[in-house]
């Protein structure tokens, strides 16, 4: 992925637009991150007004989007959902047809839905709009409970900050876990949240004092090779298994088992990138038990084998140097 087109139009949401600029448009070459040819485009170049009352001057039309490796659709004002510019629909259809990456943030998914490229696919949008989308486009399998969904090379995300998670997810596939973690550190966000995590977390700000679930989570990450179950984690938290599982889901938006599985995959990615350890050794280190189980979980989450991932993203020589 080398070229990225970010599409905006009148009424665009500044935060979601900024997420795309932050993820794909900044020069981070001093941190070893490759740059993208990132351009902001619009159906009609010139002054484009945001929904907050300020404007930006867009120089590029949609011709760049017709060739970009990634096309990002920013949120669309609700007033436009039933009358989307045909130029945007053509860009979406063309991008999917030629195999480019396509991403929508929040209500930008309504553009993809209107273009028909989500028909028969699983997708998401902001939880506030999921019922409306389901009524307008019953042919789409809408999952209103997750942060983002990837179906082939189409990624739809929930609202606001979920767009950050979707961008990091895509970057992890294109650049690997190590470089993506550098980007996440620069953005001062956690790189660990995956698409299956809940959009609506019951308690986004933990109220448990010292010795909270964060302490147990940190301990679990340091002991991924162990056989970790809810009973063991609950004992460390001084809670009953049922209470622990409920509290963990409320704070982290995922079950303890799902969260642990994702941490093990992330750790395996790092080891594949940064070391020359054998697969059996990596499987043991990450708590998968065997290379076969590692391959199964790795392929299910990332869509490629550990060996293929290592061939694509290995920087073991750089690490050794």
pLDDT tens, position by position, 112-143: 999 999 999 999 999 999 999 999 999 999 99
Give the model confidence (pLDDT) of 130-183 as tens digits: 999 999 999 999 998 889 999 999 999 998 889 999 999 999 999 998 899 889
Spatial distance between the Cα atoms of 109 and 214, rounded to a whole number of angstroms: 33
Per-domain boundaries in the chain: 3-187, 205-321
In the CATH scheme, what architecture does the domain 205-321 have? Orthogonal Bundle (1.10)
pLDDT tens sequence across 224-238 = 999 999 999 999 999
Q: Each residue of 283-320: pLDDT tens digit?
A: 999 999 999 999 999 988 888 899 999 998 887 544 44
- Identify whether the C-beta of residue 4 lies closer than 8 Å to the C-beta of residue 73: no
Q: Where are the alpha helices (DSSP H) in 25-161?
A: 86-97, 109-115, 130-136
Distance CA 244, CA 241 (A): 5
Q: Distance (Å, rounded) from C-alpha 126 to C-alpha 144? A: 7
Quick one: how far is CA 87 from the chain centroid?
26
What contacts 144, CB < 8 A, 6 or more positions away? 124, 125, 127, 130, 131, 199
For residues 12 and 43, give the distance between their C-alpha atoms in angstroms, rounded to a whole number. 13
Q: What is the mean pLDDT of residues 103-118?
A: 97
Q: Which CATH number fits domain 3-187: 3.40.50.280, 3.40.50.10800, 3.40.50.880, 3.90.1150.10?
A: 3.40.50.880
Q: What is the pLDDT of residue 87?
A: 97
How close are the terminal C-alpha atoms of the chain, in Å? 27
pLDDT of residue 228: 94
pTM of the predicted model, to two decimals? 0.78
Q: Are the beta carbons of 277 and 265 closer than 8 angstroms?
A: no
Q: What is the pLDDT of residues 42-52, one digit of tens each?
A: 999 999 999 99
Contact present, 211 and 236 (Cβ < 8 Å): no
């Amino acid at each position: 992925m080398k070229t990225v087109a970010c599409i905006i139009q009148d009424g665009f949401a500044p935060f979601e637009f900024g997420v795309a600029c932050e993820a794909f448009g900044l020069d981070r070459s001093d941190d070893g991150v490759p740059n993208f040819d990132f351009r902001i485009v619009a159906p009609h170049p010139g002054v484009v007004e945001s929904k907050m009352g300020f404007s930006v001057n867009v120089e590029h039309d949609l011709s760049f989007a017709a060739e970009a490796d990634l096309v990002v659709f920013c949120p669309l004002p609700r007033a436009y959902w039933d009358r989307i510019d045909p130029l945007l629909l053509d860009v979406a259809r063309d991008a999917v047809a030629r195999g480019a990456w396509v991403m929508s943030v929040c209500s930008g998914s309504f553009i993809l839905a209107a273009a028909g490229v989500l028909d028969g696919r699983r997708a998401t949008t902001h939880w506030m709009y999921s019922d409306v989308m389901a009524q307008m486009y019953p042919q789409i399998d809408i999952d209103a409970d997750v942060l983002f969904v990837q179906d082939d090379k189409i990624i739809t995300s929930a609202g606001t900050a979920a767009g950050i998670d979707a961008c990091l997810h895509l970057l992890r596939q294109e650049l690997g876990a190590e470089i993506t973690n550098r980007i996440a550190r620069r953005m001062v966000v956690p790189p660990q949240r995956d698409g299956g995590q809940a959009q609506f977390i019951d308690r986004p700000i933990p109220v448990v004092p010292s010795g909270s679930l964060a302490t147990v989570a940190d301990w679990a990450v340091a002991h991924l090779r162990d056989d970790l179950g809810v009973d063991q984690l609950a004992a460390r938290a001084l809670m009953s298994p049922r209470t622990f599982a409920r509290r963990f889901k409320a704070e982290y938006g995922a079950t303890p088992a799902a969260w642990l599985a994702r941490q093990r995959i992330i750790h395996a990615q790092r080891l594949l990138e940064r070391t020359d350890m054998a697969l059996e050794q990596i499987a043991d280190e990450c708590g998968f038990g065997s290379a076969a189980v590692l391959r199964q979980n790795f392929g299910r989450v990332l869509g490629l084998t550990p060996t293929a991932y290592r061939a694509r993203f290995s920087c073991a020589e750089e690490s050794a140097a």
